[in-house]
Amino acid sequence: MIREILVYPNKKLKKISKEVEEFDESLHSLLEDMKETMYANEGIGLAAIQIGVPKRVLIINLTDEDGNQNPDDLVEIINPEIIEADGKTIYQEGCLSVPSIYEEVERFEKIKVKYQDRFGKVVEEKLDGLMSIAFQHESDHLNGKLFIEKLSYLKRKKFEKEWKKKLKERK
């Protein structure tokens, strides 16, 4: 089922999501809803809280070199942890919860992560490139953080101004 995406400044987006303890049918149906919702909105990543579910669940499906999004490349990530981080990288990020806004954000370049799959199996791997950035962006959602909160004071001001303008235009 396609669910509604919560948009900034919805207060639910600030919630700290809870660890998943049961790797059951309800988790699997949440993952299916997240996939449908992400594809319907042309996203490459989505955290459960973006559809109002405060659970530590996220999905990422990057596009390939030709810009095609292959569902076989979709990764389901439960209870993510970053256990090592190295270097810095800057990328112009967007977010389905902050539509039409793209700003440069600094992240770790390489990370070592630990998470669980939909059956509870523990996975440990090293990530770099866009996958590392997406993992950090989506993990921040589970702690109630949006990418716009990582902007400098001046850039945040600029964003708030742009956002107000966009709100008026949408009405």
Active site residues: 138
Site for Co ion in 81-120 (CB under 5 A): 95
Nearest CA-CA partner of 69 in 97, 44, 96, 32:
44
Given 4, 22, 25, 42, the residue binding ligand QAP (CB under 6 A): 42
Least Cβ distance, residue 123 to ligand QAP (angstroms): 19
Indicate whether 100 belongs to the interface with ligand QAP (CB under 6 A). Answer: yes
Degrees, nearest 5: CA angle 66-67-69: 115
Least Cβ distance, residue 153 to ligand QAP (angstroms): 22
Nearer to Co ion by Cβ, of 95 and 127: the residue is 95
Count of residues of this chain found to bind Co ion when the rule CB under 5 A is applied: 1
Strands (E), the chain: 45-47, 57-60, 75-93, 103-116, 122-127
Indicate whether 75 belongs to the interface with Co ion (CB under 5 A). Answer: no
Burial class of residue 128, CB neighbours in 10 A (0-12, 13-18, 19+): middle
CA–CA separation, 44 vs 74, rounded Å? 9
Question: Coil, helix or strand for 2?
Answer: coil
CA 138 to chain centre: 3
Least Cβ distance, residue 38 to ligand QAP (angstroms): 7
Q: Which does 63 bind (CB under 5 to 8 A by kind): ligand QAP, Co ion, none?
A: none
Nearer to Co ion by Cβ, of 20 and 95: the residue is 95
Contacts with ligand QAP by CB under 6 A lie at 41-45, 91, 93-96, 99-100, 130, 133-134, 137
Contacts with Co ion by CB under 5 A lie at 95
